[in-house]
C-alpha cells in the first residue's frame, strides 16, 4: 500500500476569502510582509494503486473548474 | 388529474424537496413525486427539480458526492434529450458538479452563510423557466447558502453572455461575490437546464414574504402546455 497525500487549493485566479482573512490576521499580529495566503484541504489516503490518484482528483477530489491539486505519493509505502 | 408531474430528487440531506413539491402543487402545475437518489427510474415525470439542501453534509464540496448518485445518470439523459431540469441552491451546485451546467460555486466571498431576501433581475425571458416573467423585472427571492459564489472561466463567461444564458443577476447587493453578479444560468441542448442559488419555491405566496417566484413556475407550466399541443 502507498500513502497518497492530495492537496487541493482554489485556482490562483480566484479570490480565496479565507486566505485573505488569515492574511489580515497575520498582518495585525505584526507579520506585515506576509502575502498570497491560500487555504486548501489535504486529503490523505492509502491505496495499492497510487497511479489512480490523478483520476481520483479529476473525478472527485478536486473540481477542476475552480481548484488545483497536487499529489504526493510516499515512496516508502505504509505497513500492511 | 390535469397538469404535469414534477419529479423532485431527494438526496440524504436535501431539505427543500418538500418545498419544491409544494410550490409545484400549490401553483396548480400538477402532481409532484419525490424521487429517491438511489432510484434509476424518473417515472416519466415532465420536469426534474434538483432541490436545495445539504446533500451528504456538503462533504468535500457542495454537490460533489450527490452528483454520483445513481439517479443522476438518468437526469443527465433526460437533460440531453431536452427534458426540463431545474436546480435550486444545492441543486445548482450538484448540476455544476455533474457538468450539466458550466462553472462552479465557491465559498461566499464574505465567508458567512447568508440567509435573506435578495433582489434578482430577470436577464432573459428566452427560457422555459422565465418565459412568463418580464425582462429586467426585479424579483424578491430568498437566498440561504454559504457556497454560492458563481465562478467560471473568462471564456465560458463570454460564451454565457454571447448566448444570452445568464438567467438572473443580483440586482442590488451581490451577497456572495459571484462573478458578474450571476445568480442563475442556463444550459442544456435547448436551454432546458437551469440552476440558480436563490429559492423561488420559497417565494410563491405573499404570506411567505414574496410571491415573486411564482412567475417561474407559471413559465414552466406554459412551456410544458405549449409542448403538448
CA dihedral B95, B99, B104, B107 (to 10 degrees): 60
d(CA B183, CA B110): 16
d(CA B14, CA B37): 10
d(CA B163, CA A4): 42
Q: If contacts are CB pairs under 8 Å, which of residues 157-186 in chain B contact chain A?
A: 177
Which residue's entry shows cell 467560471?
Answer: B152
Tens-digit pLDDT profile for chain B (229 aa)? 479 999 999 999 999 999 999 999 999 999 999 999 999 999 999 999 999 999 999 999 999 999 999 999 999 999 999 999 999 999 999 999 999 999 999 999 999 999 999 999 999 999 999 999 999 999 999 999 999 999 999 999 999 999 999 999 999 999 999 999 999 999 999 999 999 999 999 999 999 999 999 999 999 999 999 998 7
| Residues of B forming the active site | 89, 199, 201
CA-based nearest distance A76→chain B, Å: 27
DSSP B197: S
In chain B, what residues touch A14 (CB-CB under 8 Å)?
Answer: 106, 151
Say which of B60, B104, B111 has its CB closest to residue A66: B104
CA of residue A35 relative to chain centroid, distance: 18
The two beta strands, B114-122 and B104-106, are unpaired
CB-based contact B101:B92 (threshold 8 Å): yes
- Residues A21, B151: C-beta atoms closer than 8 Å: no
- Residues A15, B177: C-beta atoms closer than 8 Å: yes
- Residues B106, A18: C-beta atoms closer than 8 Å: no
Alpha helix locations (H) across A13-52? Answer: 17-28
Hey, CA dihedral for B62, B67, B72, B75, is it positive or negative? positive
Residue of B nearest to A16 (CA): B109
Alpha helix locations (H) across A3-80? Answer: 17-28, 53-56
Is this complex's ipTM strictly greater than 0.90? Answer: no
Amino acid at each position: 500500500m502507498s500513502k497518497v497525500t492530495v492537496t487541493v487549493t482554489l485556482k490562483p485566479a480566484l479570490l480565496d476569502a479565507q486566505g485573505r482573512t488569515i492574511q489580515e490576521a497575520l498582518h495585525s499580529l505584526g507579520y506585515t510582509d506576509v502575502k498570497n495566503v491560500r487555504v486548501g484541504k489535504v486529503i490523505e489516503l492509502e491505496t495499492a494503486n497510487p497511479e489512480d490518484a490523478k483520476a481520483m482528483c479529476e473525478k472527485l477530489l478536486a473540481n477542476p473548474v475552480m481548484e488545483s491539486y497536487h499529489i504526493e505519493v510516499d515512496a516508502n509505502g505504509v505497513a500492511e | 388529474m390535469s397538469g404535469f408531474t414534477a419529479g423532485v430528487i431527494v438526496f440524504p440531506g436535501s431539505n427543500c424537496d418538500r418545498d419544491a413539491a409544494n410550490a409545484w402543487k400549490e401553483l396548480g402545475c400538477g402532481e409532484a413525486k419525490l424521487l429517491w437518489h438511489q432510484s434509476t427510474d424518473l417515472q416519466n415525470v415532465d420536469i426534474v427539480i434538483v432541490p436545495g439542501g445539504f446533500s451528504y453534509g456538503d462533504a468535500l464540496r457542495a454537490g460533489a458526492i450527490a452528483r454520483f448518485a445513481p439517479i443522476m445518470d438518468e437526469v443527465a439523459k433526460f437533460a440531453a434529450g431536452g427534458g426540463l431540469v431545474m436546480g435550486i441552491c444545492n441543486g445548482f451546485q450538484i448540476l455544476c458538479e455533474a457538468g450539466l451546467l458550466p462553472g462552479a460555486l465557491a465559498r461566499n466571498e464574505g465567508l458567512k452563510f447568508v440567509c435573506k431576501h435578495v433582489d434578482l433581475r430577470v436577464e432573459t425571458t428566452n427560457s422555459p423557466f422565465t418565459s412568463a416573467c418580464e425582462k429586467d423585472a426585479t424579483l424578491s427571492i430568498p437566498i440561504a447558502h454559504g457556497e454560492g459564489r458563481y465562478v467560471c472561466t473568462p471564456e465560458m463567461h463570454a460564451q454565457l453572455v454571447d448566448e444570452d444564458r445568464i438567467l438572473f443577476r443580483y440586482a442590488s447587493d451581490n451577497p456572495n461575490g459571484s462573478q458578474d453578479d450571476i445568480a442563475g444560468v442556463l444550459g442544456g441542448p435547448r436551454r432546458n437546464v437551469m440552476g440558480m442559488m436563490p429559492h423561488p419555491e420559497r417565494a410563491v405566496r405573499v404570506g411567505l414574504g414574496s410571491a415573486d417566484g411564482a412567475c417561474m413556475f407559471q413559465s414552466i407550466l406554459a412551456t410544458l402546455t405549449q409542448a403538448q399541443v
